[in-house]
Amino acid sequence: MAVNYDENTKTISINTQNTTYQMKIGPYGVLLHNYYGERISGEDMSYLFRYEDIGFSPAMGDAGMNRTVSLDTMPQEMPSFNVGDYRAEGIRVQHGDGSYALDLRYVSHEIMDGKYCLEGLPAMYADGTGEPGASEGNVVKEDFGKGKGRSRGKAETLKIVLKDRVKEFFVTLLYGVYEELDIITRACLIENREEETAVMDKAVSMSIDFLTADMDIYTFNGRHTMEREAERRRLGKGVTSIGSLRGTSSHQHNPFVILCEPETGEEHGGCYGFAYVYSGNFLAEVECSQMEMLRFTMGIHPSRFKVLLEKGRVFTMPEVIMTYSGKGLGRLSSQLHRAMREYLCRGKFKSGRRPILINNWEATYFDFNGEKLISIAEEAAKLGIEMLVMDDGWFGKRDFDESGLGDWFPNEEKLGMSLHELIERVKEKGISFGIWMEPEMVNEDSRLYKEHPDWAFALPGREPGRGRCQLVLDLGRECVREYVYQAICSILDTGDITYVKWDMNRSISDVYNRDLPPEQQGEAGHRYVLGLYELLERITSKYPDVLLEGCSGGGGRFDAGMLYYSPQIWCSDDTDAIERLKIQYGTSFGYPISAVGSHVSACPNHQNGRITPLHTRGTVAMAGTFGYELDISKMTEEDKKEVKKQIEDYKKYSDLIQEGEYYRLAKPEEIFMAWQFVSDEKDRSLVNVVMTSARANSPGCIVKLKGLEPGSDYREDETGKVYSGSSLMHGGYLLPKEMGEYQSYQIYFERV
């Protein structure tokens, strides 16, 4: 068993292959957090904590005159509120009598085979298949360990029940344990059993207290077209936080955080990763206390959040995926990649090569018709491209971005044919058909808005704010979800559509649910996210053969919650290869390469005007799902030959790219950026290098490889030269002398 309880010490230990997470039922029933880190032999780690009187930190009420036990200094598993702990609280609640307090004490625990599920929310699963529609309710799934013939998905669930010392108010902590993956998940259920309604205005999914604050924090911040830039900084006294109030996880701050020892690098040092399986407003806080302890919490953002808990209501908090590595950031990323790829992504497209597509957006924008798309498909098929994706502008009255959203019926006058005919004619060219949609949005200049203006978010008596000339449909309302569902089905039933790009092009404001009374408006934002998840679950269940790609102005909703429904997400609207290096580098810390939507686009680049070689654009796009976004008719014959070569190469390397071990070899700010893929068997490897700085009279650039067998020999594919694994890893590989700007290299090795 991965979870063990010691009756003598009252410790609960979660042991994965390389880590231990330990709790203790402490004085007066407080559930203490003892330890999380390298695997230990099982002793009670509470010996590291000293109970003593800390001035101005009051003792617990039931401790009487015992001045040595204060919640303000105890390392807790779920922090209490307004009972003497002045650090970041876990759950903040006002009871029916008006009092603000929560004093949680241990009641019971249970260890079960299988993995819990969360009602209405995405979560990791354990059966290895992850079929849409398979997980319902806050229950434990028994049938696990079937995926791909591997046993690493076998899971256990630990359930711990806590209760307020006075009120009938319960918090159930849920832990999912993947022993062979070194992954632990956390979530919680919050229930009021009092006769009077309680009001909750803050809740976290997890909290963890460390006895030392000597750590750095990695966050992944940015903006539209420059998402998930890795930022590392030292933690100091006080509170460090990131979060989103944009209604989505956002371009600005990603719901993924790393805490690490100051000397931690790619291959050494201790580090902790926390990924929130949620796509709405979130808050991650790190507080360094007066006693130089560190508390990390992750939950729904408390701003504009308020939940009425009537008697018997259970509120389900989203899941956090946690992992620890004692061997550096590279190992941490590897653990998260495998967990998300195999036990979070679902359906037939979670593994295996996905179709190489061409999207017409940067080729035509709104200016196209059916014949233009068919001509693109014909040329694309000649080069080996496998799918045409019709982007924005095919529906309603949609020749620019100020009208048409919400009217999900084909504009046959513009297309010059029916959608069914277009699909069939594209298929006749030998490639499949995909389509772009933005189902969560509406333009005021649309049939839908004229008929149902009340379906869009707007505050009573106020003019709503517009983003990209559009408003947001309130998916928290069943009538809105049903319309969107039926509209999408009517399109997908038109013909053989095998791919949907699901876009969402603005931050959410003016949040107000017309179905809720005033006192429940604090739930409107969360209900929107739950409505989105319900809609996505229905769509993916009905159309399991359709590949869904998530998008929100690029990477504005690139999070673990969306990966549960869409196994790939458009990484960024910035398609410039050089800026993509930094975006994809930051993304790689927490998310699998197979989830990264990446395309080769035209030059000069449409976002910043930069000119980069076509080969380099292909190299960068191969650090993810591969495709094109340009006008083929404007390409030279030489460029078309290069495209054919890129497609051949991607097909050759795709299993390495999507499922191989990923290594960061150099940072984007260095002279060159480099990354590497290695097969599970360590018999194949692909090294990718982009020169980011051209220099005169430059010294040789050497890149040191990782992940190979030291005692094996490897042949370089292009030159036939043989190197030992130890030489390539410890001595390195000498790159060709660079000439010209932004040159790139793909170096492929096979074991001999």
User: 674, 614, 670: which is closest to 646 by C-alpha?
Assistant: 614
- Residue 513: other Cβ atoms inside 10 A: 18
* CA 577 to chain CA centroid, nearest Å: 22
Find out whether the peptide bond into 439 is cis, omega within 30 degrees of 0: no
Structural tokens at position 618:
């292909």
Contact 554, 276 (CB under 8 A): no
SS3 395: strand
Residues facing residue 501 across a β-bridge: 436, 549
* CA 164 to chain CA centroid, nearest Å: 33
SS3 428: helix
- Residue 403: other Cβ atoms inside 10 A: 18
Catalytic residue among 164, 573, 574, 576: 573
- Residue 216 annotated to the active site: no
SS3 684: strand
Strands (E), 69-197: 91-94, 104-113, 115-116, 140-141, 155-164, 169-178, 183-192
- How far apart are alpha carbons 723 and 728 in whole angstroms? 7
- Residue 720: other Cβ atoms inside 10 A: 7
Catalytic residue among 103, 209, 407, 503: 503
Structural tokens at position 465:
């704010």
How many Cα atoms within 13 Å fall on the side-chain side of residue 359?
Answer: 26
Contact 538, 546 (CB under 8 A): no
Structural tokens at position 732:
């390195």
In this structure, the strands spanning 387-390 and 432-437 are: parallel
User: 574, 575, 570, 525: which is closest to 552 by C-alpha?
Assistant: 570
User: 680, 690, 629, 628: which is closest to 658 by C-alpha?
Assistant: 680
- Look at the chain and count its residues: 752
- How far apart are alpha carbons 72 and 167 in whole angstroms? 21
Contact 443, 403 (CB under 8 A): yes
- How far apart are alpha carbons 331 and 147 in whole angstroms? 22
- Residue 503 annotated to the active site: yes
Q: At how many degrees (to 10) do helices 524-542 and 478-492 cross?
A: 30
- Residue 21: other Cβ atoms inside 10 A: 25
- How far apart are alpha carbons 212 and 218 in whole angstroms? 17
Residues facing residue 184 across a β-bridge: 177, 322
User: Which residues are part of the catalytic machinery?
Assistant: 503, 573
